[in-house]
Amino acid sequence: MSGDTGKPNFKGRRLFLGAAAALPATSVLGAKPPHGQPSVPPSAKSVLDTKHSACDAQRGKHKFDADVIVIGAGFAGVTAARELGVEGNKVILLEASTRLGGRTYSGHFAGQNVEYGGAWVHWAEPHVWAEVERYGHGVEEEQIANVDRALVMLPDGRVKELTTEQLDAYDKDGMDKFTAGARELFPRPYEPLTNPKVRELENISAADHIAKLGLNEVQTAILNAEMTLYGAGPISEYSYLAFVKCFSCMSWDYYTFNDADRRYRIGKGGTLGLLKSMIQHSKAEVRFSSAVNQVRQERDHVIVTTEDGRKVTARAVVVTVPTNTYKRIQFIPALSPAKRKYIDQGEMSNGAKVFVQLEKNYGNTFAFCADPNPLTVVQTIKNSDEVGTILSITPGRRKLIDINDADEVEKQVQRLFPNAKLVGLSGYDWANDPYSQQAWGAYRVGQMSLAQELAVPEGRVFLAGASTAGGLNEYIDGAVESGLRAGRQVRELFSRSPA
């Protein structure tokens, strides 16, 4: 951890710092959670029901530590642990960091509850919405429904100020053209390869597709920013079909997609609150600071080895780590060639999350910033004469800006809000966290059909995580979907080979 203490380490001016700002770009989530936030609810720490499965009776014979080992405590891992734990299986959940959440991260900034990773949910997302309802968390609404100022930054840095009606019209027209034919391409979007034409088109990039649409410069800039956001990298590398699939999962509807994309957050504690409810229900034993470096599969069990040399055995393992961290784990025997090809390619997702507080009240603003401008999407989450303006910023191409340099961030913000003065800054750099090495899951051109191979079991080894989902691979919903599927697959294995 390079001696990281979890203390602020910002370049330039010293500002009011929020929760995740206390973790610099070189730090890891192993640092003490900011503002005294508990890394896990006390009820989830090594809580085990003594009555688990029939395998308990034979554990002395087989010397298995659990029925199932789950690797990774994000939404995929916690969902899988809950699915298998509530059925009486003994589940050990190994998490490399010191907290629940994976690539979600609930925190506080400038008096606001904020999310530094995955955030927004919607009733059109069936899997995560079921969890929100199951545990009674509800949602909180963002200010975006009442935007009074709209900005679009063109690739050359010029800023166009639009009415909200103009932004909506430009955005909808461009999106309608970009996603034309979506219903035919993805008639069953949670089974994306149903239409064989998908395989024929998966080498088309978002940039290639935009170039054919005949849009004006403002519409082109808006779509450029949208695709940079979703791809979290150059749109010349981002799969056109990857976005269209996500759009199709929202009932092929522009308005539903926009609401799901940035309007409603999980209530009652945010993503961490929902994860606490799920893990408490699971009765899983959670072991933090347990990074895994080997998964060995034997005839009737698996052996998982952590980086500090500890070994844990079980009848099956569910691996839910982000795609770009799979190279940290040795699989014996090796994963299938198709899985290894996808893992070797990696995902392009180089995004981050930043919150800033401006001294003045600039109104309720929404902005798209086309690549190569680094801020990508900017959204007001709070504004008043008392607090000034609090912005949520999602840089799609993290490499274009040092989110820990207050002067640099202020300079970029001033391109949208001239002479703005930053009084607070907080952010998280997902691509530089060794236990994520990426933000949300984003398919490169040619990866969609290959990604579906990740969901295929390999004996007693099961892969989950948002990127393995059939549907919303860039959302929390995809993570939950994958955890449900992995739970089902493990149950099927156990039904064929009972303990």
User: Is residue 60 pLDDT above 70, yes or no?
Assistant: no
Cβ atoms of 8 and 17 within 8 Å: the answer is yes
Q: Band of the pLDDT at 54, cuts 50, 70, 90?
A: very low
Q: Which residue has the higher pLDDT, 24 or 480?
A: 480
User: Is residue 472 pLDDT above 50, yes or no?
Assistant: yes
Residue 267: other Cβ atoms inside 10 A? 17
Residue 430's nearest CA partner among 339, 343, 325 is 325
394-424 tens-digit pLDDT: 999 999 999 999 999 999 999 999 999 999 9
Conformation bin of residue 264: beta by default, left when phi > 0, alpha when psi is -120 to 50? beta
CA distances from 69 to 48, 303, 312, 464, 491 (A): 14, 9, 8, 13, 13
For 100, list phi and psi in degrees, rounded to 5.
-80, 155
Q: What is the pLDDT of residue 295?
A: 98
Give me the DSSP letters along 10-67.
-BSS--EE-TGGGS-TT--TTSPPGGG--SS-GGGSS---S---GGGGGHHHH--SEE
Beta strands, E only, 263-343:
264-266, 285-287, 292-297, 302-306, 311-319, 330-332
Taking the chain, what is the end-to-end CA distance rounded to the nearest angstrom?
A: 40
Q: What is the pLDDT of residue 15?
A: 53
Question: Distance from CA of residue 62 to its chain's centroid?
Answer: 37
Q: What is the pLDDT of residue 53?
A: 43
Of 20-29, 185-194, 415-424, which range is least confident?
20-29
Average pLDDT over residues 157-169: 96
CA distance 143 to 367: 14
User: Is residue 499 pLDDT above 90, yes or no?
Assistant: no
Q: What is the pLDDT of residue 146?
A: 86
Q: What is the pLDDT of residue 62?
A: 53
Give me the DSSP letters along 332-391.
ESPPPHHHHHHHHH-------EEEEEESS---SEEEEE-TTSTTBEEEEEEEETTTEEEE
Q: Identify the DSSP state of 440.
A: S
Q: What is the pLDDT of residue 264?
A: 95
User: Is residue 5 pLDDT above 90, yes or no?
Assistant: no
Q: Identify the DSSP state of 83.
A: H
100-133 tens-digit pLDDT: 999 999 999 999 999 999 999 999 999 999 999 9
CA distance 458 to 297: 9
Average pLDDT over residues 341-364: 95
Q: Which residue has the higher pLDDT, 23 or 239?
A: 239
Long-range contact set of residues 371-374: C-beta below 8 Å, sequence gap at least 24 = 371/155, 371/224, 371/225, 371/228, 371/234, 371/235, 371/396, 371/397, 372/155, 372/397, 372/400, 373/153, 373/155, 373/157, 373/400, 373/412, 373/415, 374/400, 374/401, 374/412
Q: Band of the pLDDT at 154, cuts 50, 70, 90?
A: very high
Q: Which of 3-12, 55-64, 85-94 has the highest mean pLDDT?
A: 85-94
Average pLDDT over residues 209-232: 97
Which amino acid belongs to residue 66?
A: A
CA distance 482 to 487: 9
Residue 123's nearest CA partner among 308, 329, 266 is 266
Q: What is the pLDDT of residue 143?
A: 83
313-325 tens-digit pLDDT: 999 999 999 999 9
Average pLDDT over residues 272-295: 98
User: Is residue 47 pLDDT above 90, yes or no?
Assistant: no
Residue whose structure tokens are 């996500």: 246
The pLDDT > 90 percentage for the chain reads 85
Q: What is the pLDDT of residue 49?
A: 36
**Which domains are assigned to the chain?**
38-102+267-347+437-496 (3.50.50.60), 166-250 (3.90.660.10)
Cβ atoms of 239 and 447 within 8 Å: the answer is yes
Beta strands, E only, 210-287:
264-266, 285-287
Q: What is the pLDDT of residue 40?
A: 35
Average pLDDT over residues 366-377: 98
- Encoded tokens for 296: 């060995």
User: Is residue 427 pLDDT above 90, yes or no?
Assistant: yes
| Interhelix angle 240-249/164-178, nearest 10 degrees | 110
For 436, list phi and psi in degrees, rounded to 5.
-125, -50
- Encoded tokens for 233: 């990298």
